[in-house]
Structure 1
Amino acid sequence: MARKRPKGVLEITWAVAESAAAGRKEHVPVGADYPDTVVRRISFAAGGGLGWKLSAIESPRAKPAPWKIVVVTGAPSWAEYWAPAIAALPLDREMVVVDRPGYAGSEPVDYVGDIRQQALALSPLLQARSGQKILLVGQSYGAAIATLMAAANPGRVAGLVLLSGYYGQPGPTAEWLLKVGARMLKIIPRDVRHAVLEVTNQAGQLEGMHAALRNLKVPVHVVHGDKDDFAPIELAEKLVAETRTRRPMRFERVIGANHFLNDGPAEDLLATLEGCIPRRWELKLNWPRWLDISQVPKLKARSSAPA
């Protein structure tokens, strides 16, 4: 039985502080809950020649699954909170969830505020195995970064999901936390400090996200809980209504859900993501009603014998 990881913002803040004091990169290492045949911690070199070593967790598979789900997390960026979802994946799906630059086990130690640089650093995640397609998921602050990743890597991403996307304006709870965090920047743990700085300085960078969305050729799914008090659902609705895209974006309102859609049952989250994966097209021949072939009289075979 996997132990309960703190989910509320204050609980996460305490977990970050506790981990920093103990010298750990995670609140509870995923290996304490799951064998590495189910959830495995990996590291990889950042893209763009940035020289950083990044950390992520993934679902090991002996054979490539048809779909690989790549998750770019929000702020603070702790991949371990997706471990239950990875553990619940069916064998025909893969998932990798990253600690973004400047968080948890990922370098650098300093704050990385440019979402373009983060998108470049995370680009190696979009490498697929033979015959595999990628569903790219951007959660909260990660939504803008994932959009830039999809635009910069045409042909590598088969679908984009903006999950509880944060679009520059905080909801009431997030606004209060940002104000408190801004006054305590010098004493709060690094990961929380980076989160406050990221969210505070994001709005001016969103034009790049909007430009990227307008040019994407892949399906885009905007999924948002209607009880989200961190990133208002109204902004997600506005994004869909006002952004002219090459193909219509799909909007899904999750009734009763808050900002942390990975906080609930893993099966519900995976079902939501599965709904963003297109079904195989099946050929169906539908005969017109006026032509019922079962009623067509069989033609008598002509006899070749002489009369």
Structure 2
Amino acid sequence: MEVGVPRKRPKGVLAMGWAAVEAAAKGRTEHAPTSADYPETVVRRTSFLAGGGHGWRISAIETPRETPPPWKIVVITGAPSWAEYWAETLAELPPDREMIVVDRPGYAASEPLHPVTDIRVQAEALAPVLKAARGQKVLLVGQSYGAAIASIMADQNPGKVAGLVLLSGFFGEAGPTARWLLDLGGKALRMIPKDLRHAVIEVTGQKPQLRHAKRALGRLNIPIHMIHGDKDDFAPLEVAERLAEETVTRRPIRVVRTEGADHFLNDGPAEILLEAIESCIPHKGPAWTFRWPKLPALWAPRLPTTASAA
């Protein structure tokens, strides 16, 4: 089946917020169903039973592969947790990679209907997604609020994660745009759709729990990468860099500043994000250097020629 030109999903926080309201009003769990844009041979919905005996059914989207490739990329999304916004990235994934992106517990089509505010319970529930084929390695990507959860998942599942990526990680301190939205959401908590309400509740209660994520990072003996836009006004780069500097880890955290990029790195061209993620996968043979390509001035993230390391 030939893949047509997919519809563009809403971009920008206001457009995404309105899409959430519209989806809730129409009773949809997806803002723009992936099945309308991609055949199931390219991107498909799947689900799995949550770990920890919770009995929840967790929804996700994945890239089907007849033969398991060497690397499986697992993405734990932020708050709100909407896997569908990664559909374009999944569709561009090369055949020698596999990706699955989850709707975390309490969001979209994932159970339960109430917010799961403990990041350790989230990590426990999402652990089954780390299951890999024989000989396959897992690169775990935690996006925004999902970064702290992914850190705990990697620690709770020794031997199952070969590398950890903290993508636009949110660590307890909101930037100006996020503070404005949290204040607005808090005042309208009973009126906004479920997913937005759960996001406000989660984010405002995260900071006291970060000790669990920091402790997990300190115990990990795998490569840890931090990719963050220097124009991020949701989760400030300075907060992420401070975490990397202050957290005592067994291996230095590789910090990559993406110049000109905001919080929503998966909103940019898919190939750019995929190259950034690919740079976190070790390659055999001659040394391989990742360069962030130049883009038009409208949205032009690029990596400096040398990445800073904490």
1:180 paired residue number: 184
SS of the residue 1:96 aligns to: strand
The reply on whether 1:44 has 2:44 as its aligned counterpart is no
TM superposition shift of 1:281: 5.0
Distance 2:276 2:17 in 1: 28
Displaced runs of 4 or more, over 3 A? none
The reply on whether 1:222 has 2:220 as its aligned counterpart is no
2:213 paired residue number: 209
2:161 paired residue number: 157
1:84 paired residue number: 88
What amino acid is aligned across from residue 101 of structure 1 in structure 2? P
What amino acid is aligned across from residue 137 of structure 1 in structure 2? V
Distance 2:244 2:283 in 1: 23
TM superposition shift of 1:131: 1.1
My pick for the range that moved more, 272-281 or 201-210, is: 272-281
2:98 paired residue number: 94
Query: Any gaps of 5 or more consecutive residues in structure 2?
Result: 288-310
Distance 1:191 1:9 in 2: 14
Distance 1:176 1:28 in 2: 26
Larger Rg: 1
1:67 paired residue number: 71
Distance 2:153 2:102 in 1: 14
Match of 2:195 among 175, 178, 191: 191
The reply on whether 1:15 has 2:19 as its aligned counterpart is yes
Query: Any gaps of 5 or more consecutive residues in structure 1?
Result: 284-307
Match of 1:34 among 10, 21, 38: 38
1:270 paired residue number: 274
What amino acid is aligned across from residue 109 of structure 1 in structure 2? L
TM superposition shift of 1:243: 1.1
What amino acid is aligned across from residue 66 of structure 1 in structure 2? P
Q: How many residues align?
A: 283
1:261 paired residue number: 265
SS of the residue 2:120 aligns to: helix
2:295 paired residue number: none
Distance 1:40 1:280 in 2: 31
1:24 paired residue number: 28
SS of the residue 1:122 aligns to: helix
TM superposition shift of 1:251: 0.3
Q: Deviations over 1:175-205 (max 9, x none)?
A: 0000010000010001000000100000000
1:135 paired residue number: 139
Distance 1:72 1:260 in 2: 14
CA RMSD of aligned residues (A): 1.0
Q: Deviations over 1:89-135 (max 9, x none)?
A: 00000000000000000000011100000000000010000110000
TM superposition shift of 1:242: 1.2
TM superposition shift of 1:241: 1.1
2:294 paired residue number: none
1:245 paired residue number: 249
Distance 1:208 1:281 in 2: 37
Match of 2:123 among 79, 96, 119: 119
What amino acid is aligned across from residue 159 of structure 1 in structure 2? G
TM superposition shift of 1:153: 0.3
SS of the residue 2:182 aligns to: helix
SS of the residue 1:136 aligns to: strand
Distance 1:193 1:99 in 2: 15
Distance 1:262 1:270 in 2: 9
Note closer, same or farther for the CA distance 1:281–1:245 as it changes in structure 2 (3 Å cut): farther
TM superposition shift of 1:35: 0.2
2:9 paired residue number: 5
My pick for the range that moved more, 140-149 or 13-22, is: 13-22
TM superposition shift of 1:282: 6.4
1:287 paired residue number: none
